[in-house]
């Protein structure tokens, strides 16, 4: 979405990506076709969802590595469906998303070649961001040649240039830092490298303003409706020095 920001007397238009967390959290049971359908009906521009793999090599949507007390990676898809019918396969998820919103596929556990085959068969024209904490996975996935955006997720306050170097080394064009780690030095390093920055998980307008002042390109949120309403309720959003990230 396009937002108009005013900071230190300077006004700029910024194309901000607002991403609904865990398959449309707040629009239905998280990471289900129900929540995705609710998000699509609402008009969400991008949905983040979690990808895992069953024991019989089916890519599926689920956040936790466990289903009850068992590891999903050790269960076949038929058994998973028997115990939890609302867990969709990645292909079902892509089919429903169609061409109505972008997807951020956070890879928790999936073979790079399997993910590439699914995305190749789907051949989506949608914006797709494949992201992971695992830089080795991203490197291997990048070698499959599937033309989607790649993003490295970070959970800790690493040295700013180190974060960017690690992202670049695995072919990422987007860095996804945890929100509290976003500082001006990180933004400057990412900008110098030509990388987008999408922060997570941002659930309050005060944190949003802080990140807008720092210069992020997007945020992932559990409170999509609230943040969208805030962003669209103002012709110009003021992000003063008090909201700037500490350098």
pTM for this model (two decimals): 0.94
Query: What does the pLDDT read at residue 244?
Result: 44
DSSP per-residue string spanning 42-86: HT-SEEEEEEEE-TTS-EEE-SSSEETTEEGGGS-HHHHHHH-TT
What interhelical angle do 33-42 and 90-97 show, nearest 10? 20
The closest alpha carbon to 205, from 246, 239, 236, belongs to 239
Give the pLDDT confidence of 159-210 residue by residue, as tens digits.
Answer: 667 889 999 999 999 999 999 999 988 999 999 999 999 999 999 999 999 9
Give the pLDDT confidence of 200-245 residue by residue, as tens digits.
Answer: 999 999 999 999 999 999 999 999 999 999 999 989 999 975 454 4
Give the pLDDT confidence of 29-88 residue by residue, as tens digits.
Answer: 999 999 999 999 999 999 999 999 999 999 999 999 999 999 999 999 999 999 999 999
Contact status, residue 39 vs residue 25, Cβ threshold 8 Å: no
pLDDT category, 124, cuts 50, 70, 90?
Answer: low
């Amino acid at each position: 979405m396009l937002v108009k920001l005013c900071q230190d007397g300077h006004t700029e238009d910024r194309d901000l990506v607002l991403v609904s967390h865990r398959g449309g959290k707040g629009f239905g049971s998280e990471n289900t076709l129900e929540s995705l359908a609710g998000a699509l009906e609402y008009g969400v521009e991008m949905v983040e969802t979690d990808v895992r793999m069953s024991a019989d090599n089916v890519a599926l949507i689920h956040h936790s590595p466990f289903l009850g007390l068992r590891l999903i990676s050790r269960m076949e898809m038929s058994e998973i469906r028997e115990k939890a019918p609302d867990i969709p396969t990645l292909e079902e998820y892509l089919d429903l998303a169609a061409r109505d919103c972008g997807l951020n596929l956070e890879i928790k556990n999936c073979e790079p070649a399997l993910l590439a085959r699914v995305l190749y068969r789907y051949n989506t024209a949608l914006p797709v961001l494949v992201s992971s904490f695992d830089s080795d996975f991203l490197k291997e996935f990048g070698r499959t040649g599937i033309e989607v955006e790649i993003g490295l997720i970070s959970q800790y306050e690493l040295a700013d240039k180190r974060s960017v170097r690690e992202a670049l080394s695995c072919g990422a064009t987007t860095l996804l830092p945890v929100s509290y780690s976003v500082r001006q030095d990180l933004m400057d390093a990412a900008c110098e490298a030509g990388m987008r920055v999408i922060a997570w998980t941002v659930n309050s307008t005060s944190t949003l303003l802080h990140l807008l002042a720092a210069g992020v390109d997007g945020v992932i949120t559990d409170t999509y409706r609230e943040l969208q309403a805030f962003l669209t309720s103002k012709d110009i959003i003021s992000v003063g020095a008090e909201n700037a990230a500490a350098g």
